[in-house]
Amino acid sequence: MYHRILLKLSGESLMGSQGYGIDPQRLNSYAEQIDGIAALGVQVGIVIGGGNIFRGLSGAQKGFDRVKGDQMGMLATVINSLALSSALEARGRKARVLTSLPMEPIAEYYSKPKAVRMLEEGNIVIIAGGTGNPYFTTDTACVLRAVEIEADILFKGTRVDGIYTADPEKDPTATRFDQISFDEILRRNLRIMDLTAITLCRENGMPLRVFDMDTEGNLMRVIKDGNIGTLVTP
């Protein structure tokens, strides 16, 4: 059993079937699954993307200033984080939102000691706002936070059940890896995370497991038996 994990959630997955925004059913499913593993005594840190509301890079391609676009994306992650904390609290689970930019009274400003203390006190800690800097993705942010809070492992919950030789939604012949190294991911140029995030994982010895979060119960299965998805090792 893991002592402390960092869970990366996709903002786009929060849309569910709506195409935009937050699907209450998907949000509650995530809250139920996270509540379940917290009940086992696992300390849970979370980073959520903001692609269901606004993605900075896409905004830049449409004419937004890149820095302002990324800042809008950071705010989108705060909205998602507040929504998830509310869903967790509705289930009776203590949850705190920390932000990488000062944003009181909406949420407290992030620091490692504060996050670790909250985790040890039994809170689920949701860290919003990416790294607080433009040009960095929430993938990079989740690796950074996983390393900082000394997580045992980083879980990336997606809509795909692991890492494939190619995009399985586009290539029906793609095959899934049960295990792969970060070096192999870089060699094959597999786009599971951006290069900065992959390099940060590799250099800090942070193991990563990519799995399908949208299937009910998968988070509990991956915590208990670890045979779901793809394990990436340093």
Query: What's the rounded Cα separation, in Å, for the pair 15 and 95?
Result: 22
The tokens for 216 are: 């009910």
pLDDT (tens digit, 9 = 90+) per residue, 20-34? 999 999 999 999 999
- For the chain, domains (ranges, CATH) are 4-233 (3.40.1160.10)
Query: What's the rounded Cα separation, in Å, for the pair 11 and 48?
Result: 6
Predicted local confidence at residue 123, as pLDDT:
98
The tokens for 67 are: 């820095």
Pairing between β-strand 153-158 and β-strand 43-48 as defined by DSSP bridges: unpaired
pLDDT (tens digit, 9 = 90+) per residue, 119-133? 999 999 999 999 999
Query: What's the rounded Cα separation, in Å, for the pair 136 and 71?
Result: 11
Does 57 score more than 80 pLDDT?
A: no
What pTM does this model have?
Answer: 0.94
The tokens for 109 are: 């400003």
Does 94 score more than 60 pLDDT?
A: yes
Given a contact cutoff of 8 angstroms between Cβ atoms, the answer to whether 88 and 34 are in contact is yes
pLDDT (tens digit, 9 = 90+) per residue, 130-157? 999 999 999 999 999 999 999 999 999 9
Q: Which residues contact 17 (CB under 8 A, 6 or more apart)?
A: 23
Predicted local confidence at residue 169, as pLDDT:
82
